[in-house]
Structure 1
């Protein structure tokens, strides 16, 4: 594979899963000690960083996966297949390469209506996910919050033996 000799701020950010702001901060630290041939601004005033400096941008601290929990009632006699198609539709509509939707479907004991529990990893499209679900399930009742203990949440949502269905981008 033929790699580019110089990388842009955005490319370094995507490679290392960090913000462009953080990449520029590291560049500010490096510019003081590195040769102008390795790190400089091009004719359009954009930073160019040589491939040799890629290791300088490695994360110093491991990033924790952040999920949010979402539970909602479907209010109809949807089947598990129906709900799977709906969740695939929502996944396909969200433009986030890191999107991960994990969910289970259970039937409420009181009325037999389908109820969905999920934990979702998304970069910045949480509102978009809710928008599409509200569009499909008009008047839907839902509860959303951060997941602090993922293992316990997984135990809770699989308490009746329902498998966790995983959808990734």
Structure 2
């Protein structure tokens, strides 16, 4: 996508994190003032925009990072390495290019059972839960909104553990 001369509505939307509707609105405005070599329709009657016009599609407002907190208990026999492998598998199975899983693994003091604290960004929450339930035995979880991300990060690292980060777009 980086070296294409003309980009489609879908490509512009994905690249800039915009809805197709918003991209088309900007294209219609540009089409009134720009010549046909910069904004055109292809044989399928789909908009194509020359790469030189990409600055016109910069977001006016920065989209807020939307995370939710997810804590879950796992099967006692899982090691931290098992949990990491399963979470990587979860990441691979979900078709969400913006999926991001940030997590720590703690061992319960009472019984040594591992549990995970995380903050996650996804547009496919239902699929995420279905995949977690499929891949983790005896999964029980608790989800909540994050009002103070820095405070949540301090809480999940209170025992000195590092936050592990899994991102879909880093695999590409």
Q: TM-score, normalised by structure 1?
A: 0.88
Q: Which secondary structure state, in structure 1, belongs to the residue aligned with residue 33 of structure 2?
A: coil
In structure 2, C-alpha distance between the alignment counterparts of 1:162 and 1:78, rounded to whole Å: 17
Q: Which secondary structure state, in structure 2, belongs to the residue aligned with residue 27 of structure 1?
A: helix
Indicate how the Cα distance of structure 1 residues 164 and 57 shifts in structure 2: closer, same or farther if over 3 A, else same. Answer: same
| Equivalent residue, structure 2, for 1:64 | 64
| Equivalent residue, structure 2, for 1:39 | 39
Indicate how the Cα distance of structure 1 residues 54 and 113 shifts in structure 2: closer, same or farther if over 3 A, else same. Answer: same
Q: Which secondary structure state, in structure 1, belongs to the residue aligned with residue 105 of structure 2?
A: strand
In structure 2, C-alpha distance between the alignment counterparts of 1:3 and 1:81, rounded to whole Å: 39
- Following superposition, the deviation at residue 158 of structure 1 comes to 0.9
| Equivalent residue, structure 2, for 1:141 | 140
- Measured against aligned partners, the alpha-carbon deviations of 1:110-133 in whole angstroms (never above 9, x if no partner) come to 3321111011122x2222221111
Q: Within 5 A, what are the aligned runs for 1:26-105?
A: 26-105=26-105
Q: Which runs of 5+ in 2 are unaligned?
A: none
Indicate how the Cα distance of structure 1 residues 92 and 149 shifts in structure 2: closer, same or farther if over 3 A, else same. Answer: same
Q: Which secondary structure state, in structure 2, belongs to the residue aligned with residue 32 of structure 1?
A: helix
| Equivalent residue, structure 2, for 1:121 | 121
In structure 2, C-alpha distance between the alignment counterparts of 1:130 and 1:66, rounded to whole Å: 17
| Equivalent residue, structure 2, for 1:107 | 107
Q: Which secondary structure state, in structure 2, belongs to the residue aligned with residue 115 of structure 1?
A: strand
RMSD: 1.9
Q: Which runs of 5+ in 1 are unaligned?
A: none
Q: Which secondary structure state, in structure 1, belongs to the residue aligned with residue 37 of structure 2?
A: coil
